[in-house]
């Protein structure tokens, strides 16, 4: 009598091999784990830095809009750009002048005489080297109750101010309601050679019969009352 041996595959053995094979595929070393953690941390830091950078860019753009901004210019050039102002009869310009033997000033006036080549400058404030903010205002001085045109230069070295009493007819015009022709420097940075001048402000009050006449480069046929300021080399009389 012969004996027949029947061998039945053990189902558990096959499943164990599959399980062991699966565990082997997903097993990672400590070095790989630390690498993944590092990547996650760096990714989170990058996201945070990007958001922070965007916030700082927003703040910088906001500050530039509030205080004015001068772009980079060629060495030795003078530059200017209009800055915002939220007060009536107040004008602000950011300027930059180079360091060197040539000195600069901001001349101001409220009158361009008829048939003259330019305004009748009342006075001028010296400009320090570097960037400054020039403020030109028409205001009533609380100390003596007189209306004046004042020029203020603010820089890292401090403030310099000069003021001139306005003629009564000019005060009447400035306190009245009139159209104003505004030229001079704009919000974009204007740069020229240090031997040239920049007309910072040219605000003409349109009053009288010649109010609507635009003369361009020609001399005005009537006195032009307004607010004028010019950045110029400090060489010779005004």
Please report the pLDDT score of residue 229 as a whole number. Answer: 98
Could you say which of 67, 91, 107 is where a domain stops? 67
Q: Look at residue 169 and tell me whether its pLDDT is greater than 90.
A: yes
Question: Using CA atoms, how far apart are residues 28 and 48, in angstroms rounded to an integer?
Answer: 29
Instruction: Mark whether 213 and 114 lie in a shared domain.
Output: yes
Instruction: Mark whether 116 and 221 lie in a shared domain.
Output: yes
Residue 101 lies in a domain: yes
Q: Are 109 and 60 in contact (CB under 8 A)?
A: no
Please report the pLDDT score of residue 106 as a whole number. Answer: 98
pLDDT digits (tens, 9 = 90+) for 64-84: 666 678 989 999 999 999 999
| Cβ density class 98-121: b for 16+ within 10 Å, e for less | beeeeebbbbbbbbbeeeeeebeb
Instruction: Mark whether 159 and 211 lie in a shared domain.
Output: yes
Instruction: Mark whether 194 and 107 lie in a shared domain.
Output: yes
Q: Are 156 and 129 in contact (CB under 8 A)?
A: no
Q: Look at residue 4 and tell me whether its pLDDT is greater than 90.
A: no
Q: Are 84 and 202 in contact (CB under 8 A)?
A: no
pLDDT digits (tens, 9 = 90+) for 201-226: 999 998 866 555 555 556 677 889 99
pLDDT digits (tens, 9 = 90+) for 39-51: 989 999 898 888 8
Instruction: Mark whether 136 and 183 lie in a shared domain.
Output: yes
Instruction: Mark whether 42 and 104 lie in a shared domain.
Output: no
Domain that holds residue 30: 11-67
Residue 63 lies in a domain: yes
Please report the pLDDT score of residue 18 as a whole number. Answer: 46
Instruction: Mark whether 56 and 102 lie in a shared domain.
Output: no
Residue 3 lies in a domain: no
Question: Using CA atoms, how far apart are residues 92 and 27, in angstroms rounded to an integer?
Answer: 68
Q: Look at residue 146 and tell me whether its pLDDT is greater than 80.
A: yes
Please report the pLDDT score of residue 35 as a whole number. Answer: 85
Instruction: Mark whether 169 and 149 lie in a shared domain.
Output: yes
């Amino acid at each position: 009598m012969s004996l027949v041996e029947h061998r039945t595959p053990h189902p558990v053995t096959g499943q164990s091999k599959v399980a062991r094979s699966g565990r082997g595929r997903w097993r990672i070393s400590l070095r790989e784990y630390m690498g993944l953690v590092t990547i996650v941390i760096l990714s989170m830091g990058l996201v945070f830095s990007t958001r922070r950078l965007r916030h700082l860019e927003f703040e910088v753009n906001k500050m530039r809009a509030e205080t004015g901004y001068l772009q980079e210019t060629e060495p030795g050039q003078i530059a200017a750009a209009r800055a915002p102002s939220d007060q009536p009869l107040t004008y602000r310009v950011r300027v930059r002048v180079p360091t060197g033997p040539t000195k600069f000033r901001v001349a101001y006036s409220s009158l361009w005489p008829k048939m003259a080549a330019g305004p009748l400058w009342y006075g001028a404030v010296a400009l320090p080297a570097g960037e400054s903010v020039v403020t030109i205002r028409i205001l009533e001085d609380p100390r003596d109750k007189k209306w004046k045109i004042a020029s203020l230069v603010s820089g890292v070295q401090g403030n310099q101010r000069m003021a001139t009493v306005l003629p009564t007819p000019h005060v009447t015009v400035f306190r009245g309601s009139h159209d104003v022709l505004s030229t001079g420097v704009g919000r974009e940075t204007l740069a020229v050679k240090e031997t040239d001048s920049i007309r910072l402000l040219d605000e003409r009050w349109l009053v009288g019969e010649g109010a609507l006449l635009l003369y361009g480069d020609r001399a005005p046929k009537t006195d032009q009352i307004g607010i004028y300021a010019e950045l110029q080399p400090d060489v010779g009389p005004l």
